[in-house]
Structure 1
Amino acid sequence: MSTQSQSQTHTSDGDQRNAPGPNQDVGKHGGDERKEHEKGQENSHNVLDSTDQKSLKNRLAQAAKEEKEEKKAESQPGPPPTAAARANGNEPSRGAKIDEQIEEEERKLLEKKGIKP
């Protein structure tokens, strides 16, 4: 047998056949797989990236929106420092108890001065 006939036999011996069975279209993109891939991960892109191709107007609008959201988040009080431990059925740490006392004292002081917390 010559080299040419051996290589032709080898290339046509079926190494490239599709697997028999119900999954013949494995590897083809369809349905939700592709949509989820194109969607990407949440918060994986810096919206204020200077190398982005957004217009200056859109970047300024996004920056103003984020600044507004940060101010809103700062003005709303968070849960007390002991809340996480109590939610899990544990005794809060000494530091968390002290922090809670300090916050309460500051709140009372601000109310006394007439400043709304």
Structure 2
Amino acid sequence: MTSNVGNRALYEDGDQKNVPQSEREQPDRFKEGQPNSHKALDSKDERSIANKLAREEKRENEPEGENSEEARESKIDSTLPARMHGNEPSKGAKIDQQLKEEEEAELKKKGAFGPK
């Protein structure tokens, strides 16, 4: 039986074939084993408990990194991280800084807060 619908060219696969997998361009693979690629507390991570404990011990002994300097400075001025990155501080950061300054002024007035 033959079909009476359409032209024979409609059913030929000339331009409808997919390129074989072997001929496709392969994207560069992401480098395996990137540092900090595991989340420390990921429940789906298959590392053993011993490996997790060893990593936490190592992390405790590591010197503080770049982020910790920014964290220390943000404790002094909560608007500083945003300004360091060239952004306007959020409303919450501005309010936090204002409250912090008010509390420090109150403590200085009472004599319970000294310069650090």
Normalized against structure 1, the TM-score is what? 0.39
As a proportion of its length, which structure holds more helix? 1
Normalized against structure 2, the TM-score is what? 0.39
